[in-house]
A and B are shown apart, each in its own frame.
Chain A
């Protein structure tokens, strides 16, 4: 059996719409420096680096080689992972596997994106199968809109339910997270008055595109406590990249891959009652609608129970299961970093270092990634209570 693994350090940039002061390498540099500073480690202590982004946003080929400039990877083992929107979470998972394998003791995970350099939608359009699906599911929005339409029809969810998620996440970002990109409180009314982008999704239901980077340091458990007084142990990982045609997924209304990935991660972590056992979740919700229709995939409510679950307010900061204290993806979306930010934020919550956005007494946090063709990654993090 492999080594136990903990997260010991997290760093991120102050994300924004267009960072004109930094190029991508410099964004990475800031995030990595902050992660190292949070641990007292230097690059000399890092045994390997896993990096990820999506090539066509910045049009840089072989980013694993280019980014060496950003994190100081000279004479280091470096490997790149790219799986679309799930890139950030896949990078985190890959760094976890690096350490768990025993081949490396301390591994740096880096996700980044400088979306201001691209036409984001034009770049994403080409992910769809070129002959059959590119014309109508192109971009990130079409599939999400179709999926929520199905969910609304099937379970009676409304646009207002999704607006509640927008308000929750955007207000969390505004009030508590200095790193978030969009930091302006909004109301349900404002969401409902914003323009449709693709029915039933409106502008304020959607994530922005951001410039930013995130770095997370993973270490072997027996080194972790010495590095960080209170590390966040990786209790479980799960992943499902089950489809390659969007048409196979959107008709399911919920997110089936999330159900599979969560189940896998829960099994590994020994979680049987996710709603009660998980204290906080940082979820990759690319649109607020997902904050309604994907709750059942996480096992937080029964099938079709998403609307009631969100309306009840339990996922607000003062609720029983706060979701996205950071403000989540609809407040910040530097795509290759986004999944890794979820892992980093989940780790900060467990480590008690989430500052103003800290949820009290977090023992277990869940972090998810979403992308590709409605794929999901899930990582469960736990406090030292779970160190054996």
Chain B
């Protein structure tokens, strides 16, 4: 199969209250990605936007950024989901042979909405919403189940938060660069047991863009194409009660597809850096297991060993991850952007030395019901 490359990336600085509107943020990242690729908007022949009517507070919310992304002048579509899914849609458009240079833009402004209500609307309107379920307390159920089943400690989860906020200090785009200790995390305000404030990602505003091209175009116009070597996405059951929330077989299924496509047999060694969607600290540990970086239940020990620290053998979230900036929809695309910068060797102070293969991961829905995983290679 023909390869697809990422030839340009752009992201905003992530912050709690970005004074820019949705379209201004989308415009900024579109231009940054174009500049990065050395292209102009005239070179873009189709686009995919990622918006969500709930987060954006507008029906047909893609209209908000159609103009800002230049989508009004080319064939375009809108994925309502994480930016990683938007890139998949972009890939299908290129591989169909009908489109060439594809712009993918995702954005959200968490600051203008009410995240508890917006994420409460994920749940079944008759049976579940009345319980007050939202992103935080549903994740707490998952964390509890995972930690109980595998003996993961709150301290081990806290270590994820300490690591990622520390990594964020070297990422000029991150929202929450923090010098914190395990003790700080453990003593931070409880949100929903066992999740405390510093186990949780912030509310963020931000946008991300990537430009995709087919192999022949990428080689012609791009000095450092990053190849999408593998991709896989997969969905779990909907009702939390129908799932064993500690189970990661849906992520295992998604990533197996990506690894098989990329020819990766031993991810722990062959992946040099991973950017995963850890909306909460425990998620990074669970996703590490699902991604095959360790056996089930061993991620806590792996965390203790420093395996995923910047200086460890497989740094996870050198950018600071989603714990350090969580622009919903753009957050998965930011993982791809960071993965691209890493394998290009352009991640500046957060660069993982010698990284040529990166993994980028996005999630969808409550408690990682859906996953979309990429293997990126220089």
Question: Which of A's residues lie within 8 Å of B, judged by CB?
Answer: 1-3, 23, 52, 54-56, 58-69, 73-84, 90, 93-94, 96-98, 100-103, 123-127, 129-130, 237-244, 264, 268, 371-373
Known: A2-B95, A102-B95. A66 touches B122 (CB 8 A): yes
Binds A, one of B62-70, B141-149, B190-198, B282-290: B62-70
For A123, list chain B residues within 8 Å (CB): 59
Cβ A79 vs Cβ B81 within 8 A? yes
The residues of B with any CB-CB pair to A shorter than 8 Å are 1, 52-54, 57-60, 62-64, 66-67, 71-73, 75-81, 85, 88-89, 91-98, 118-119, 121-122, 124-126, 231-239, 249-250, 253-254, 364-366, 369-370
Given contacts A83-B78, A100-B96, A127-B60, contact A74 B67 (CB under 8 A): no
Residue of B54, B75, B233 near A238 (CB, 8 A) is: B75
Q: Are the C-beta atoms of A103 and B92 separated by less than 8 Å? A: yes
Q: In the bound complex, what is the Cα–Cα distance between A130 and B57 (angstroms)?
A: 10
Asked if A75 meets B250 with Cβ closer than 8 Å, knowing A90-B78, A93-B77, A127-B59, the reply is: yes
Which of A68, A82, A264 lies at the interface centre, i.e. has the most chain B CB atoms within 10 A of its CB? A82
> Cβ of B76: which chain A residues have Cβ within 8 Å of it?
239, 241
* 11 A-B residue pairings within 8 Å (CB atoms): A56-B59, A65-B369, A74-B237, A75-B235, A77-B235, A80-B79, A101-B91, A103-B92, A240-B75, A268-B98, A371-B60
Q: Are B95 and A61 in contact (CB under 8 A)?
A: no
Closest 3 CB pairs of A and B: A65-B365, A101-B95, A100-B96
* Chain A residues positioned under 8 Å from B85 (CB to CB): 79-80
When the two chains form their complex, are residues A61 and B52 in contact, meaning their CB atoms are under 8 A apart? yes
Given A52-B80, A240-B75, 7 more pairs with CB closer than 8 A: A23-B126, A64-B80, A81-B89, A100-B92, A103-B92, A243-B72, A244-B67
B59 touches A84 (CB 8 A): yes
At the interface, is chain B mostly helix, strand, loop or mixed?
Answer: mixed
Chain A residue with the shortest CB-CB distance to B2: A102
Are B63 and A84 interface neighbours, CB within 8 A? yes
Alpha-carbon separation in the docked complex, A23 to B127 (Å): 13
Question: Is the pair B96, A97 in contact by a Cβ cutoff of 8 Å?
Answer: yes
Q: How far is the CB of A49 from chain B (nearest CB, A)?
A: 8
Chain B neighbourhood of A69, CB < 8 A: 237-239
Decide: A103 and B52 in contact? CB cutoff 8 A: no
Residues of chain B within 8 A (CB-CB) of A54 are: 53, 59-60
> When the two chains form their complex, are residues A130 and B238 in contact, meaning their CB atoms are under 8 A apart?
no
With contacts defined as CB atoms under 8 Å apart, how many contacts are there between chain A and chain B in the complex?
Answer: 183
The CA of A82 and the CA of B88, in the complex, are separated in Å by 15
A298–B249 Cα gap in the complex (Å)? 48
Q: How far is the CA of A348 from the CA of B1 in the complex (A)?
A: 32
A264 touches B364 (CB 8 A): no
In the complex, A55 Cα to B233 Cα: how many Å? 22
Shortest A268–chain B CB gap in Å is: 8
Measured in the bound complex, the distance between the Cα atoms of B234 and A238 in whole Å is 29
Which residues of chain A are near B233, meaning CB under 8 Å?
77-79
Q: Which residue of B lies closest to A48 (CB)?
A: B233
Q: Shortest beta-carbon distance, A58 to chain B, in Å?
A: 8
Please tell me which one of the listed residues B77, B250, B370 contacts residue A90 in the complex, with CB atoms under 8 A apart: B77
With A76-B234, A84-B60, A101-B96 as known contacts, state yes or no: A55 contacts B73, CB within 8 Å.
no
C-alpha spacing A61/B75, complex, angstroms: 26
Nearest B residue to A56 via CB reads B59
Query: Which chain B residues border A52 with CB–CB below 8 Å?
Result: 80
CB distance from A189 to the nearest CB of B (A): 36
CB distance from A13 to the nearest CB of B (A): 20
The residue that B80 contacts in the complex, of A80, A100, A102, A242, with Cβ under 8 A, is A80
Evaluate contact between B364 and A62: CB separation under 8 angstroms.
Answer: yes
B118 touches A94 (CB 8 A): no
Nearest B residue (CB) for A248: B72
A122 nearest in chain B by CB position: B59
Candidates A1, A62, A77, A83; contact of B365 at CB < 8 Å: A62
A61-B81 CB under 8 A given contacts A238-B75, A372-B63: no
A112 to B232, CA, bound (A): 25
List residues of chain B with CB within 8 A of the CB of A127: 58-60, 63
Known: A78-B370, A240-B75. A65 touches B238 (CB 8 A): yes
C-alpha spacing A75/B52, complex, angstroms: 23
Residues of B within 8 A of A129 (CB): 63
**How far apart sit A10 and B67, CA to CA, in the bound complex (Å)?**
35
Q: Is the CB of B66 within 8 A of A244?
A: yes
Which of A3, A61, A77, A237 makes the CB contact (< 8 A) with B232? Answer: A77
